[in-house]
Chain A
Amino acid sequence: MLDPSCPLEAPDGHLASPPLPIQLKGLVYAAGSKRVIDGIDLTIESRRITAIMGPNGAGKSVLLRLMHGLITPTTGDILWAGRRMDRLIARRQAMVFQRPVLLRRSVAANIAYALGLRGVERYQRAIRVEEALKLAGLERHSATSARVLSGGEQQRLCLARALSLEPDVLFLDEPTSSLDPASTQAIERLLLDAQRRGIKVVLVTHDVGQARRLAHDVVFLHDGRVIEHQEAEGFFADSRSEAARAFLSGGLVL
Protein backbone atom coordinates (compact mmCIF):
# COMPACT_ATOMS: atom_id res chain seq x y z
CA MET A 1 0.00 0.00 0.00
CA LEU A 2 1.07 3.49 -0.73
CA ASP A 3 1.54 5.87 2.13
CA PRO A 4 -1.34 8.34 1.74
CA SER A 5 0.79 11.14 3.15
CA CYS A 6 3.25 10.76 0.29
CA PRO A 7 2.29 13.30 -2.35
CA LEU A 8 1.94 12.04 -5.91
CA GLU A 9 1.97 15.58 -7.14
CA ALA A 10 5.21 17.24 -8.11
CA PRO A 11 5.61 20.94 -7.22
CA ASP A 12 4.70 22.00 -10.78
CA GLY A 13 1.24 20.46 -10.41
CA HIS A 14 2.00 17.41 -12.53
CA LEU A 15 1.99 13.85 -11.24
CA ALA A 16 5.46 12.88 -10.07
CA SER A 17 4.92 9.18 -10.72
CA PRO A 18 2.47 7.08 -12.71
CA PRO A 19 -0.84 6.73 -10.84
CA LEU A 20 -0.59 2.96 -10.49
CA PRO A 21 -1.65 0.35 -9.43
CA ILE A 22 -5.36 0.65 -10.18
CA GLN A 23 -7.46 -0.69 -7.32
CA LEU A 24 -11.15 -1.40 -7.72
CA LYS A 25 -13.03 -1.77 -4.44
CA GLY A 26 -16.57 -3.14 -4.27
CA LEU A 27 -17.29 -1.66 -7.67
CA VAL A 28 -20.94 -1.73 -8.76
CA TYR A 29 -22.52 -0.16 -11.84
CA ALA A 30 -26.26 -0.52 -12.22
CA ALA A 31 -28.21 0.36 -15.36
CA GLY A 32 -31.82 0.40 -14.22
CA SER A 33 -32.32 -2.74 -12.16
CA LYS A 34 -29.51 -4.67 -13.84
CA ARG A 35 -26.12 -4.68 -12.14
CA VAL A 36 -23.85 -4.60 -15.17
CA ILE A 37 -20.85 -4.55 -12.85
CA ASP A 38 -21.72 -6.53 -9.77
CA GLY A 39 -19.19 -6.02 -7.00
CA ILE A 40 -15.68 -6.11 -8.41
CA ASP A 41 -12.54 -6.08 -6.28
CA LEU A 42 -9.43 -6.04 -8.38
CA THR A 43 -5.89 -4.72 -8.41
CA ILE A 44 -4.21 -4.05 -11.73
CA GLU A 45 -0.46 -3.66 -11.53
CA SER A 46 1.71 -1.34 -13.58
CA ARG A 47 3.97 -1.95 -16.56
CA ARG A 48 2.30 -4.91 -18.18
CA ILE A 49 -0.48 -5.69 -20.58
CA THR A 50 -3.67 -6.73 -18.85
CA ALA A 51 -6.35 -8.37 -20.98
CA ILE A 52 -9.97 -8.23 -19.89
CA MET A 53 -11.87 -11.14 -21.40
CA GLY A 54 -15.30 -12.62 -21.19
CA PRO A 55 -18.42 -13.31 -23.23
CA ASN A 56 -20.66 -10.58 -24.65
CA GLY A 57 -22.53 -8.71 -21.95
CA ALA A 58 -20.04 -9.65 -19.25
CA GLY A 59 -19.43 -5.96 -18.55
CA LYS A 60 -15.96 -5.61 -20.10
CA SER A 61 -16.56 -2.34 -21.91
CA VAL A 62 -18.41 -0.88 -18.94
CA LEU A 63 -15.54 -1.82 -16.65
CA LEU A 64 -13.10 -0.08 -18.97
CA ARG A 65 -15.26 3.07 -19.09
CA LEU A 66 -15.56 3.08 -15.30
CA MET A 67 -11.80 2.90 -14.91
CA HIS A 68 -11.26 5.63 -17.50
CA GLY A 69 -13.80 7.83 -15.73
CA LEU A 70 -16.23 8.11 -18.64
CA ILE A 71 -19.01 6.79 -16.39
CA THR A 72 -19.40 6.98 -12.63
CA PRO A 73 -19.83 3.84 -10.51
CA THR A 74 -23.10 3.38 -8.64
CA THR A 75 -21.15 2.36 -5.56
CA GLY A 76 -17.56 1.43 -4.83
CA ASP A 77 -14.24 3.08 -5.44
CA ILE A 78 -11.51 3.20 -8.01
CA LEU A 79 -8.14 4.23 -6.63
CA TRP A 80 -5.09 5.25 -8.60
CA ALA A 81 -2.04 4.67 -6.38
CA GLY A 82 -4.42 5.16 -3.48
CA ARG A 83 -5.98 8.31 -4.87
CA ARG A 84 -9.37 8.97 -6.45
CA MET A 85 -9.68 10.01 -10.07
CA ASP A 86 -9.13 13.72 -10.67
CA ARG A 87 -8.08 15.96 -13.55
CA LEU A 88 -4.39 15.19 -13.14
CA ILE A 89 -4.93 11.45 -13.24
CA ALA A 90 -7.36 11.72 -16.14
CA ARG A 91 -4.69 13.57 -18.10
CA ARG A 92 -2.30 10.65 -17.69
CA GLN A 93 -4.69 8.30 -19.48
CA ALA A 94 -5.84 7.65 -23.02
CA MET A 95 -8.35 5.34 -24.63
CA VAL A 96 -8.87 3.74 -28.02
CA PHE A 97 -12.44 2.77 -28.81
CA GLN A 98 -13.83 -0.17 -30.72
CA ARG A 99 -14.96 2.06 -33.57
CA PRO A 100 -12.34 4.66 -34.46
CA VAL A 101 -13.54 8.17 -33.63
CA LEU A 102 -11.83 10.71 -35.85
CA LEU A 103 -12.49 14.39 -36.24
CA ARG A 104 -13.40 15.80 -39.63
CA ARG A 105 -9.92 17.14 -40.14
CA SER A 106 -6.63 16.00 -41.57
CA VAL A 107 -4.68 13.09 -40.10
CA ALA A 108 -2.07 15.41 -38.59
CA ALA A 109 -4.73 17.79 -37.25
CA ASN A 110 -6.40 14.93 -35.39
CA ILE A 111 -3.25 14.35 -33.37
CA ALA A 112 -2.44 18.03 -32.95
CA TYR A 113 -5.96 18.58 -31.63
CA ALA A 114 -5.54 15.97 -28.91
CA LEU A 115 -2.17 17.41 -27.92
CA GLY A 116 -3.76 20.87 -27.71
CA LEU A 117 -6.46 19.62 -25.35
CA ARG A 118 -3.79 18.12 -23.11
CA GLY A 119 -1.98 21.44 -22.94
CA VAL A 120 1.05 20.63 -25.11
CA GLU A 121 2.65 23.87 -26.29
CA ARG A 122 2.04 24.77 -29.92
CA TYR A 123 5.71 24.61 -30.93
CA GLN A 124 6.05 21.10 -29.50
CA ARG A 125 2.94 19.78 -31.21
CA ALA A 126 4.40 19.58 -34.72
CA ILE A 127 7.31 17.46 -33.47
CA ARG A 128 5.07 15.13 -31.49
CA VAL A 129 2.62 14.81 -34.41
CA GLU A 130 5.47 13.82 -36.70
CA GLU A 131 6.78 11.27 -34.21
CA ALA A 132 3.35 9.74 -33.73
CA LEU A 133 2.70 9.48 -37.47
CA LYS A 134 6.07 7.87 -38.03
CA LEU A 135 5.44 5.37 -35.26
CA ALA A 136 2.13 4.37 -36.85
CA GLY A 137 3.49 4.43 -40.40
CA LEU A 138 1.07 7.13 -41.47
CA GLU A 139 3.56 9.87 -42.46
CA ARG A 140 2.50 10.00 -46.09
CA HIS A 141 -1.15 10.46 -45.08
CA SER A 142 -0.36 13.45 -42.87
CA ALA A 143 -2.44 15.94 -44.90
CA THR A 144 -5.19 13.49 -45.89
CA SER A 145 -8.65 13.85 -44.44
CA ALA A 146 -8.74 11.36 -41.57
CA ARG A 147 -12.19 10.13 -42.56
CA VAL A 148 -11.08 8.75 -45.92
CA LEU A 149 -8.46 6.42 -44.43
CA SER A 150 -9.16 2.68 -44.46
CA GLY A 151 -10.56 1.06 -41.31
CA GLY A 152 -7.15 -0.30 -40.31
CA GLU A 153 -5.44 3.04 -40.91
CA GLN A 154 -8.13 4.86 -38.92
CA GLN A 155 -7.62 2.62 -35.93
CA ARG A 156 -3.85 2.98 -36.23
CA LEU A 157 -4.34 6.74 -36.23
CA CYS A 158 -6.50 6.51 -33.10
CA LEU A 159 -3.77 4.52 -31.41
CA ALA A 160 -1.07 6.92 -32.63
CA ARG A 161 -3.13 9.82 -31.27
CA ALA A 162 -3.52 8.10 -27.91
CA LEU A 163 0.22 7.30 -27.74
CA SER A 164 1.20 10.84 -28.72
CA LEU A 165 -0.29 11.95 -25.40
CA GLU A 166 2.41 9.88 -23.67
CA PRO A 167 -0.09 8.37 -21.24
CA ASP A 168 0.82 6.29 -18.20
CA VAL A 169 -2.23 4.12 -18.81
CA LEU A 170 -3.75 3.17 -22.15
CA PHE A 171 -7.20 1.60 -22.36
CA LEU A 172 -8.35 -0.21 -25.48
CA ASP A 173 -11.85 -1.55 -26.12
CA GLU A 174 -11.63 -4.35 -28.69
CA PRO A 175 -9.43 -2.22 -30.93
CA THR A 176 -8.99 -4.86 -33.65
CA SER A 177 -12.40 -6.52 -33.67
CA SER A 178 -13.21 -5.34 -37.20
CA LEU A 179 -9.70 -5.31 -38.67
CA ASP A 180 -7.93 -7.71 -41.02
CA PRO A 181 -4.90 -9.72 -39.82
CA ALA A 182 -2.32 -7.30 -41.20
CA SER A 183 -3.94 -4.29 -39.52
CA THR A 184 -4.35 -6.28 -36.32
CA GLN A 185 -0.69 -7.15 -36.37
CA ALA A 186 0.27 -3.50 -36.83
CA ILE A 187 -1.84 -2.53 -33.81
CA GLU A 188 -0.40 -5.34 -31.70
CA ARG A 189 3.16 -4.32 -32.55
CA LEU A 190 2.41 -0.78 -31.43
CA LEU A 191 0.94 -2.06 -28.17
CA LEU A 192 3.92 -4.27 -27.36
CA ASP A 193 6.20 -1.37 -28.17
CA ALA A 194 4.18 0.92 -25.91
CA GLN A 195 4.34 -1.58 -23.07
CA ARG A 196 8.11 -1.81 -23.44
CA ARG A 197 8.30 1.94 -23.06
CA GLY A 198 6.56 1.63 -19.71
CA ILE A 199 2.94 2.33 -20.63
CA LYS A 200 0.37 0.32 -18.73
CA VAL A 201 -1.98 -1.28 -21.27
CA VAL A 202 -5.47 -2.48 -20.35
CA LEU A 203 -7.09 -4.25 -23.27
CA VAL A 204 -10.59 -5.62 -23.70
CA THR A 205 -10.53 -8.38 -26.27
CA HIS A 206 -12.65 -11.23 -27.56
CA ASP A 207 -9.77 -12.64 -29.50
CA VAL A 208 -8.14 -15.45 -27.53
CA GLY A 209 -5.18 -15.49 -29.90
CA GLN A 210 -4.62 -11.80 -29.33
CA ALA A 211 -4.75 -12.22 -25.56
CA ARG A 212 -2.21 -15.06 -25.82
CA ARG A 213 0.09 -12.91 -27.94
CA LEU A 214 -0.10 -9.80 -25.82
CA ALA A 215 -1.31 -10.31 -22.27
CA HIS A 216 0.78 -10.76 -19.15
CA ASP A 217 -2.28 -11.22 -16.99
CA VAL A 218 -5.91 -11.92 -17.75
CA VAL A 219 -9.05 -10.76 -15.97
CA PHE A 220 -11.97 -13.01 -16.87
CA LEU A 221 -15.40 -11.42 -16.41
CA HIS A 222 -18.77 -13.09 -16.40
CA ASP A 223 -22.11 -11.46 -15.52
CA GLY A 224 -20.39 -8.40 -14.11
CA ARG A 225 -18.14 -10.36 -11.76
CA VAL A 226 -14.47 -11.25 -11.87
CA ILE A 227 -14.36 -15.03 -12.23
CA GLU A 228 -10.60 -15.25 -12.55
CA HIS A 229 -7.58 -13.00 -12.45
CA GLN A 230 -4.24 -14.65 -12.98
CA GLU A 231 -1.06 -14.71 -15.01
CA ALA A 232 -1.71 -15.25 -18.72
CA GLU A 233 0.32 -18.45 -18.89
CA GLY A 234 -1.64 -20.03 -16.08
CA PHE A 235 -4.95 -18.77 -17.42
CA PHE A 236 -4.51 -20.27 -20.87
CA ALA A 237 -2.86 -23.50 -19.72
CA ASP A 238 -5.14 -24.32 -16.86
CA SER A 239 -7.94 -21.88 -16.10
CA ARG A 240 -9.51 -22.45 -12.73
CA SER A 241 -13.12 -21.74 -13.62
CA GLU A 242 -15.60 -23.71 -15.66
CA ALA A 243 -16.78 -20.53 -17.43
CA ALA A 244 -13.30 -19.55 -18.57
CA ARG A 245 -12.53 -23.06 -19.80
CA ALA A 246 -15.76 -23.09 -21.79
CA PHE A 247 -14.99 -19.66 -23.20
CA LEU A 248 -11.44 -20.65 -24.19
CA SER A 249 -12.42 -23.91 -25.85
CA GLY A 250 -15.16 -22.11 -27.74
CA GLY A 251 -12.71 -19.43 -28.69
CA LEU A 252 -10.12 -21.95 -29.94
CA VAL A 253 -12.61 -23.78 -32.10
CA LEU A 254 -13.15 -20.51 -34.01
Chain B
Amino acid sequence: MTDIIDAFNTAFGLIVTINPALVEILFLSIKVSLTAVVIASLLGFAIGGALAVFPFPGRGALSAILSALMGLPPVIAGLFVYLLLSNMGPFGVLQLLYTPTAMIIAQVVLVTPIVGALTRQACLDLLEEYDEQLRSLSASSSAIVVTLLWDGRYRLITAVLAGFGRAIAEVGAVMIVGGNIDHITRTMTTAIALETSKGNIALALALGIILLAVAFAVNAALIGVQRLANRWAYA
Protein backbone atom coordinates (compact mmCIF):
# COMPACT_ATOMS: atom_id res chain seq x y z
CA MET B 1 0.00 0.00 0.00
CA THR B 2 2.80 2.39 0.90
CA ASP B 3 4.27 1.59 -2.50
CA ILE B 4 1.20 3.00 -4.18
CA ILE B 5 1.13 6.12 -2.04
CA ASP B 6 4.86 6.54 -2.64
CA ALA B 7 4.25 6.10 -6.33
CA PHE B 8 1.69 8.88 -6.45
CA ASN B 9 3.98 11.15 -4.48
CA THR B 10 6.89 10.31 -6.75
CA ALA B 11 4.80 10.76 -9.89
CA PHE B 12 3.47 14.06 -8.64
CA GLY B 13 7.00 15.14 -7.75
CA LEU B 14 8.37 14.16 -11.17
CA ILE B 15 5.61 16.01 -12.95
CA VAL B 16 5.56 19.25 -10.97
CA THR B 17 9.31 19.60 -11.01
CA ILE B 18 9.28 18.83 -14.74
CA ASN B 19 11.96 16.22 -14.19
CA PRO B 20 14.26 16.44 -17.23
CA ALA B 21 14.84 12.67 -17.42
CA LEU B 22 11.11 12.09 -17.40
CA VAL B 23 10.50 14.75 -20.03
CA GLU B 24 13.18 13.17 -22.19
CA ILE B 25 11.71 9.67 -22.17
CA LEU B 26 8.15 10.97 -22.44
CA PHE B 27 9.05 12.99 -25.52
CA LEU B 28 10.96 10.12 -27.08
CA SER B 29 7.99 7.80 -26.50
CA ILE B 30 5.57 10.23 -28.07
CA LYS B 31 7.93 11.10 -30.93
CA VAL B 32 8.55 7.44 -31.83
CA SER B 33 4.92 6.38 -31.54
CA LEU B 34 3.55 9.45 -33.30
CA THR B 35 5.97 9.10 -36.23
CA ALA B 36 5.22 5.39 -36.49
CA VAL B 37 1.47 6.03 -36.42
CA VAL B 38 1.67 8.71 -39.13
CA ILE B 39 3.59 6.34 -41.44
CA ALA B 40 1.45 3.34 -40.52
CA SER B 41 -1.73 5.35 -41.12
CA LEU B 42 -0.71 6.38 -44.62
CA LEU B 43 0.18 2.76 -45.40
CA GLY B 44 -2.94 1.44 -43.65
CA PHE B 45 -5.31 3.80 -45.47
CA ALA B 46 -3.88 2.79 -48.84
CA ILE B 47 -3.84 -0.93 -48.03
CA GLY B 48 -7.29 -0.96 -46.38
CA GLY B 49 -8.89 1.12 -49.14
CA ALA B 50 -7.35 -0.96 -51.91
CA LEU B 51 -8.37 -4.24 -50.26
CA ALA B 52 -11.95 -2.99 -49.99
CA VAL B 53 -12.30 -1.78 -53.57
CA PHE B 54 -9.88 -3.43 -56.03
CA PRO B 55 -10.69 -7.04 -56.89
CA PHE B 56 -7.62 -9.24 -57.36
CA PRO B 57 -6.77 -12.89 -56.78
CA GLY B 58 -5.81 -13.57 -53.17
CA ARG B 59 -7.68 -10.54 -51.84
CA GLY B 60 -9.62 -12.61 -49.31
CA ALA B 61 -6.51 -14.33 -48.00
CA LEU B 62 -4.64 -11.04 -47.74
CA SER B 63 -7.52 -9.46 -45.83
CA ALA B 64 -7.59 -12.40 -43.42
CA ILE B 65 -3.84 -12.14 -42.85
CA LEU B 66 -4.14 -8.41 -42.24
CA SER B 67 -6.88 -8.97 -39.65
CA ALA B 68 -4.84 -11.70 -37.96
CA LEU B 69 -1.82 -9.39 -37.79
CA MET B 70 -3.85 -6.94 -35.69
CA GLY B 71 -3.04 -9.27 -32.84
CA LEU B 72 0.65 -9.54 -33.71
CA PRO B 73 2.61 -9.80 -30.43
CA PRO B 74 4.97 -6.80 -30.17
CA VAL B 75 7.94 -9.03 -29.39
CA ILE B 76 7.40 -10.87 -32.68
CA ALA B 77 7.28 -7.57 -34.58
CA GLY B 78 10.43 -6.55 -32.72
CA LEU B 79 12.17 -9.82 -33.50
CA PHE B 80 11.23 -9.56 -37.18
CA VAL B 81 12.60 -6.03 -37.47
CA TYR B 82 15.64 -7.03 -35.40
CA LEU B 83 16.47 -9.76 -37.92
CA LEU B 84 16.12 -7.32 -40.81
CA LEU B 85 18.29 -4.64 -39.19
CA SER B 86 20.93 -6.75 -37.44
CA ASN B 87 24.40 -6.96 -38.94
CA MET B 88 23.57 -10.34 -40.50
CA GLY B 89 20.27 -9.06 -41.90
CA PRO B 90 19.56 -7.55 -45.33
CA PHE B 91 19.47 -3.99 -43.94
CA GLY B 92 22.40 -4.43 -41.55
CA VAL B 93 24.57 -1.98 -43.51
CA LEU B 94 22.23 0.85 -42.53
CA GLN B 95 23.32 0.42 -38.88
CA LEU B 96 19.83 1.25 -37.62
CA LEU B 97 19.62 -1.21 -34.76
CA TYR B 98 19.36 0.43 -31.31
CA THR B 99 18.26 3.77 -32.74
CA PRO B 100 14.88 5.53 -32.50
CA THR B 101 14.49 4.86 -36.25
CA ALA B 102 14.55 1.12 -35.59
CA MET B 103 11.85 1.58 -32.95
CA ILE B 104 9.73 3.54 -35.41
CA ILE B 105 10.10 0.79 -38.02
CA ALA B 106 9.08 -1.89 -35.51
CA GLN B 107 6.04 0.09 -34.44
CA VAL B 108 5.06 0.69 -38.07
CA VAL B 109 5.06 -3.09 -38.53
CA LEU B 110 2.90 -3.38 -35.43
CA VAL B 111 0.41 -0.60 -36.19
CA THR B 112 -0.06 -0.85 -39.97
CA PRO B 113 -2.24 -4.00 -39.74
CA ILE B 114 -4.42 -2.33 -37.11
CA VAL B 115 -5.05 0.79 -39.18
CA GLY B 116 -5.24 -1.26 -42.40
CA ALA B 117 -7.80 -3.77 -41.17
CA LEU B 118 -9.98 -1.13 -39.49
CA THR B 119 -9.78 1.04 -42.62
CA ARG B 120 -10.77 -1.89 -44.80
CA GLN B 121 -13.81 -2.60 -42.64
CA ALA B 122 -14.85 1.07 -42.57
CA CYS B 123 -14.54 1.22 -46.38
CA LEU B 124 -16.51 -2.00 -46.88
CA ASP B 125 -19.34 -0.76 -44.67
CA LEU B 126 -19.56 2.47 -46.64
CA LEU B 127 -19.17 0.69 -49.96
CA GLU B 128 -22.25 -1.40 -49.29
CA GLU B 129 -24.24 1.80 -49.35
CA TYR B 130 -22.26 3.74 -51.96
CA ASP B 131 -21.19 1.17 -54.54
CA GLU B 132 -24.00 1.42 -57.10
CA GLN B 133 -24.38 5.17 -56.72
CA LEU B 134 -20.67 5.80 -57.26
CA ARG B 135 -20.49 3.49 -60.24
CA SER B 136 -23.60 5.17 -61.61
CA LEU B 137 -21.72 8.46 -61.41
CA SER B 138 -18.87 6.87 -63.45
CA ALA B 139 -16.38 6.88 -60.57
CA SER B 140 -13.15 4.97 -61.25
CA SER B 141 -11.94 2.45 -58.67
CA SER B 142 -9.27 4.82 -57.39
CA ALA B 143 -11.83 7.64 -57.14
CA ILE B 144 -14.02 5.27 -55.12
CA VAL B 145 -11.14 4.56 -52.70
CA VAL B 146 -10.56 8.29 -52.16
CA THR B 147 -14.29 8.88 -51.63
CA LEU B 148 -14.59 6.05 -49.10
CA LEU B 149 -11.54 7.25 -47.17
CA TRP B 150 -12.86 10.81 -47.02
CA ASP B 151 -16.44 9.86 -46.13
CA GLY B 152 -15.16 7.38 -43.56
CA ARG B 153 -12.84 9.97 -42.06
CA TYR B 154 -14.29 9.82 -38.55
CA ARG B 155 -13.91 6.08 -38.40
CA LEU B 156 -10.38 6.38 -39.75
CA ILE B 157 -9.51 8.78 -36.95
CA THR B 158 -10.72 6.10 -34.56
CA ALA B 159 -8.46 3.60 -36.31
CA VAL B 160 -5.49 5.94 -36.04
CA LEU B 161 -6.09 6.54 -32.33
CA ALA B 162 -6.42 2.80 -31.75
CA GLY B 163 -3.06 2.40 -33.50
CA PHE B 164 -1.51 5.13 -31.38
CA GLY B 165 -2.84 3.52 -28.21
CA ARG B 166 -1.21 0.27 -29.24
CA ALA B 167 2.13 1.90 -30.13
CA ILE B 168 2.51 4.07 -27.02
CA ALA B 169 1.68 1.15 -24.71
CA GLU B 170 3.79 -1.64 -26.18
CA VAL B 171 7.15 -2.61 -24.73
CA GLY B 172 8.27 -5.74 -26.58
CA ALA B 173 9.09 -4.25 -29.97
CA VAL B 174 10.89 -1.11 -28.79
CA MET B 175 12.82 -3.13 -26.21
CA ILE B 176 14.18 -5.60 -28.75
CA VAL B 177 15.16 -3.18 -31.52
CA GLY B 178 15.84 -0.13 -29.30
CA GLY B 179 17.63 -1.77 -26.43
CA ASN B 180 16.43 0.68 -23.74
CA ILE B 181 19.64 2.75 -23.92
CA ASP B 182 19.55 5.75 -21.57
CA HIS B 183 19.18 9.10 -23.39
CA ILE B 184 18.95 7.30 -26.76
CA THR B 185 16.23 4.69 -26.90
CA ARG B 186 14.65 4.71 -23.46
CA THR B 187 10.87 5.09 -23.63
CA MET B 188 8.13 5.13 -21.01
CA THR B 189 7.43 1.42 -21.29
CA THR B 190 11.04 0.22 -21.39
CA ALA B 191 11.85 2.49 -18.44
CA ILE B 192 8.95 0.99 -16.48
CA ALA B 193 10.20 -2.52 -17.23
CA LEU B 194 13.72 -1.57 -16.18
CA GLU B 195 12.75 0.22 -12.94
CA THR B 196 10.49 -2.68 -11.97
CA SER B 197 13.25 -5.22 -12.46
CA LYS B 198 15.61 -2.99 -10.43
CA GLY B 199 13.06 -3.09 -7.62
CA ASN B 200 12.40 0.64 -8.01
CA ILE B 201 8.66 0.06 -7.79
CA ALA B 202 7.63 3.61 -6.86
CA LEU B 203 9.37 5.15 -9.87
CA ALA B 204 8.01 2.42 -12.14
CA LEU B 205 4.49 3.06 -10.88
CA ALA B 206 4.96 6.79 -11.28
CA LEU B 207 5.94 6.31 -14.90
CA GLY B 208 2.97 3.97 -15.27
CA ILE B 209 0.61 6.63 -13.99
CA ILE B 210 1.89 9.11 -16.53
CA LEU B 211 1.59 6.52 -19.30
CA LEU B 212 -1.97 5.82 -18.22
CA ALA B 213 -2.72 9.53 -18.36
CA VAL B 214 -1.51 9.61 -21.97
CA ALA B 215 -3.68 6.58 -22.78
CA PHE B 216 -6.72 8.21 -21.16
CA ALA B 217 -6.13 11.38 -23.11
CA VAL B 218 -6.04 9.38 -26.34
CA ASN B 219 -9.28 7.63 -25.43
CA ALA B 220 -10.97 10.88 -24.49
CA ALA B 221 -9.98 12.27 -27.88
CA LEU B 222 -11.44 9.16 -29.50
CA ILE B 223 -14.80 9.56 -27.80
CA GLY B 224 -14.80 13.27 -28.61
CA VAL B 225 -14.26 12.58 -32.28
CA GLN B 226 -17.11 10.07 -32.38
CA ARG B 227 -19.48 12.49 -30.65
CA LEU B 228 -18.52 15.19 -33.12
CA ALA B 229 -19.13 12.84 -36.04
CA ASN B 230 -22.54 11.83 -34.77
CA ARG B 231 -23.60 15.37 -34.22
CA TRP B 232 -22.44 16.60 -37.58
CA ALA B 233 -23.36 13.92 -40.01
CA TYR B 234 -25.04 10.89 -38.49
CA ALA B 235 -21.90 9.12 -39.67
Contacts and interface: CB of A to CB of B under 8 A. Distances in A.
Interface string B132-147: 1111111100010001
A105 interface: yes
Interface in B118-132: 129-130, 132
Interface string A73-104: 00000000000000100110111010001011
B135 A70 contact: yes
Nearest to B135: A70
Given A101-B130, A147-B234, A94 B136 contact: yes
B138 A90 contact: yes
B123 to A, nearest CB: 13
B235 interface: yes
A147 B232 CA distance: 9
A165 B139 CA distance: 13
Contact of A103 (B135, B138, B151): B151
A14 interface: no
Given A104-B151, A117-B138, A97 B232 contact: no
Contacts of A147: 233-235
A95 B139 CA distance: 13
A114 to B, nearest CB: 5
Contacts of A165: 137
A97 B138 contact: no
B129 A101 contact: yes
B59 to A, nearest CB: 20
Contacts of B137: 94, 114, 117-118, 165
Given A105-B151, A148-B234, A118 B132 contact: no
B152 to A, nearest CB: 8
A104 B132 CA distance: 16
A118 B235 contact: no
A68 interface: yes
Given A103-B151, A105-B151, A147-B233, A117 B143 contact: yes
B233 to A, nearest CB: 5
A94 B153 CA distance: 27
Nearest to A161: B137
Given A94-B137, A95-B132, A117-B138, 15 more contacts: A70-B132, A91-B138, A93-B136, A95-B136, A97-B132, A101-B129, A101-B132, A104-B151, A104-B233, A117-B137, A118-B137, A118-B138, A145-B233, A145-B234, A147-B233
A169 to B, nearest CB: 12
Nearest to A115: B137
A117 B139 contact: yes
Interface in B20-34: none
Contacts of A68: 136
Contact of B136 (A70, A105, A148): A70
